[in-house]
């Protein structure tokens, strides 16, 4: 074990955590130290499969492990706030699956808790850590396409309706916005430099009253428009299109962000960036490990203000759609 490896704990051992643990084990900067579930048997099985040093049958025991530096939260959305806050109060850095929380108040409270305890709090928006995403931001910052005038970003997939499935379970914060929408919304916030109050939205519903396909359009003070689509009932192409005054950028499959292309206003390809990685999770794991070792409180790629703004927009949309009080 290298001295500079950040020791990770994992809370919540579902599919997303299985993927996370598998990728973490390929990262030289990180070490899977411990895992925790509500049942000891499940924790033992996960630890054996992925090589964790310790397995705990409750979350608090993991939080009290003095060796752990950072905890990855892979629980369903509805449990994030409570468990993240407990980790922060125990002095543990946190990398929490997106969306980190579902309300502005919860986001602001967690930020205050991270500041009070002087530990890292980072939403696991792994797409922002991808090399192609960073190259896109580099082009935008350099003015390669001029001022951004229009963004079109979509992430929607099709899942057969099953009221027992997590995506369709209101008690587990199911629905398209929470599960798929966080990607295009936070992408738009990053590219456009924020959200606009001038917003129009439409949605369709599942048989049990959750949102299944959402379309959100914002117009900014300078006239620029952002068009965002998310869903769990329809497959769409997940390329992101960023149009500026002097050209445009296409990010192929923006979620995984393996290739981005820069065009002039004559649709001629000027430049491109492409990088293959077995799993894009590796970049956020390296980034989080580096932040922990450097005792940073927040990520420059996913700053707290972005997570707060996204949770506030969740609330606004849910109120407008009359899906929450």
pLDDT digits (tens, 9 = 90+) for 157-186: 999 999 999 999 998 889 999 999 999 999
Query: What are 48-73's pLDDT values in tens digits?
Result: 999 999 999 999 999 999 999 999 99
pTM of the predicted model as reported, rounded to 2 decimal places: 0.95
| Whether the predicted pLDDT of 1 surpasses 90 | no
| Dihedral sign (CA 280, 285, 286, 290) | positive
Sheet strand arrangement including 6-11: 54-56, 30-36, 6-11, 70-73, 93-96, 121-123
Query: What are 207-224's pLDDT values in tens digits?
Result: 999 999 999 999 999 999
Strand partners, 213: 204, 231
Look at residue 325 in the predicted model and tell me its pLDDT.
58
- Domains present along the chain, CATH in parentheses: 6-127+282-309 (3.40.50.720), 132-277 (3.30.360.10)
Phi, psi of 220 (to 5 degrees): -95, 170
């Amino acid at each position: 074990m290298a001295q500079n490896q950040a020791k990770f704990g994992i809370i919540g051992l579902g599919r997303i955590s299985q993927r996370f643990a598998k990728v973490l084990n390929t990262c030289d900067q990180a070490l899977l130290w411990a895992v925790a579930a509500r049942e000891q048997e499940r924790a033992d099985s996960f630890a054996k499969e992925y090589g964790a040093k310790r397995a705990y049958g409750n979350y608090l025991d993991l939080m009290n492990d003095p060796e752990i530096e950072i905890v990855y939260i892979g629980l369903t959305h509805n449990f994030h706030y409570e468990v993240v806050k407990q980790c922060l109060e125990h002095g543990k850095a946190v990398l929490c699956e997106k969306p980190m929380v579902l309300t502005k108040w919860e986001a602001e409270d967690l930020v205050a808790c991270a500041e009070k305890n002087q530990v890292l709090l980072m939403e696991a928006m792994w797409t922002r850590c991808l090399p192609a995403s960073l190259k896109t931001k580099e082009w935008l910052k350099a003015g390669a396409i001029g001022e951004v005038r229009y963004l079109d970003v979509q992430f929607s997939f099709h899942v057969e309706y099953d009221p027992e499935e997590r995506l369709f379970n209101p008690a587990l914060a199911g629905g398209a916005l929470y599960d798929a929408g966080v990607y295009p919304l936070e992408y738009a916030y990053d590219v456009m430099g924020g959200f606009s109050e001038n917003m129009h939205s439409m949605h369709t519903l599942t048989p049990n009253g959750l949102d299944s396909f959402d379309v959100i359009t914002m117009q900014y003070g300078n006239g620029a428009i952002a068009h965002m689509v998310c869903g769990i009932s329809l497959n769409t192409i997940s390329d992101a299109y960023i149009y500026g005054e002097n050209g445009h950028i296409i990010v192929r499959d923006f979620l995984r962000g393996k290739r981005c292309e820069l065009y002039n206003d004559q649709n001629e390809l000027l430049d491109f960036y492409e990088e293959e990685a077995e799993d894009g999770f590796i970049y956020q794991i390296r980034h989080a490990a580096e932040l922990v070792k450097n005792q940073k409180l927040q990520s420059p790629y996913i700053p707290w203000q972005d997570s707060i703004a996204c949770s506030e927009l969740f609330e606004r949309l849910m109120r407008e759609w009359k899906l929450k009080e």
